[in-house]
Amino acid sequence: MIVQFKTISVLIIFLFLWFHPIHVSVTNVEYFPETSELELSTKIFKDDFQLLFVHLNELNIEFENEDSIHKYQDEIDSYIRKNLKVIIHENECKYYFKDYKINDEAIWLSYTMKITDEIESLKIKNTLLLDLYFDQKNLLILKAGDYNDGFQFNLKHKEHIFDVN
C-alpha cells in the first residue's frame, strides 16, 4: 500500500511538472560602435503574447498571420517600447521597428536605435509579460565589443545596469 501511494505521488508530481508551462522571453542587445547603432531582438512565445493582448487590450492578434501582425504593428511596438527600455546617460533611447521572424512557437521582434554618445553603461528595464505571469523570466544578453553579459529579469528584478567599460 505504501509503495502504491509513493508511486502515485511521484506520478502526480511528474505530471504536474510536465504540464506546467515555463514563462520566458529572451532578448539580445548588441552595440555596434562602428555604426553607432544598438540592435535589440526579443523572442516571445506566440501563445503568451497573444494572451497578453487579449487580456490587456481585448485584441486577438494572430501571430501566425502576417496580415494580423501588420494590422496591429503599432500596438505590438507600443507594448515592447513600454516594457523594454534602454537608458543611456539617464536618457531613454527611442528605438525603431526593423523586422520580425516567426518560427513554430515564437516571434522574434527586431528593433534598432542610433546612439550619439559613447556608451559607458546601459540601464535596461525589462517588464515584458510581467503583467500577465507572476513567474515570468526575461533573459537578456548584452554584447558590446568584447563585453558580454547577461541578466535575468523578473518581478523582483525589473532593471539592471550593465557597465560596458
4 within some domain? no
Tell me: pLDDT of 111 over 50.
Answer: yes
Tell me: pLDDT of 2 over 70.
Answer: no
Range among 28-37, 60-69, 71-80 with highest mean pLDDT value: 71-80
139 within some domain? yes
3-class SS string, the chain = CHHHHHHHHHHHHHHHHHHCCCCEEEEEEEEECCCCEEEEEEEEEHHHHHHHHHHHHCCCCCCCCHHHHHHCHHHHHHHHHHHEEEEECCEECCCEEEEEEECCCEEEEEEEEECCCCCCEEEEEECCCCCCCCCCEEEEEEEECCEEEEEEECCCCCEEEEECC
Q: How many domains does the chain have?
A: 1
Tell me: pLDDT of 155 over 60.
Answer: yes
6 within some domain? no
pTM equals 0.84
16 within some domain? no
Structural domain boundaries, residue 134: 23-163
Per-residue pLDDT reduced to its tens digit, 22-55: 899 999 999 998 898 999 999 999 999 999 999 9
157 within some domain? yes
18 within some domain? no
Banded model confidence at residue 9, pLDDT cuts 50, 70, 90: low
3 within some domain? no
99 within some domain? yes
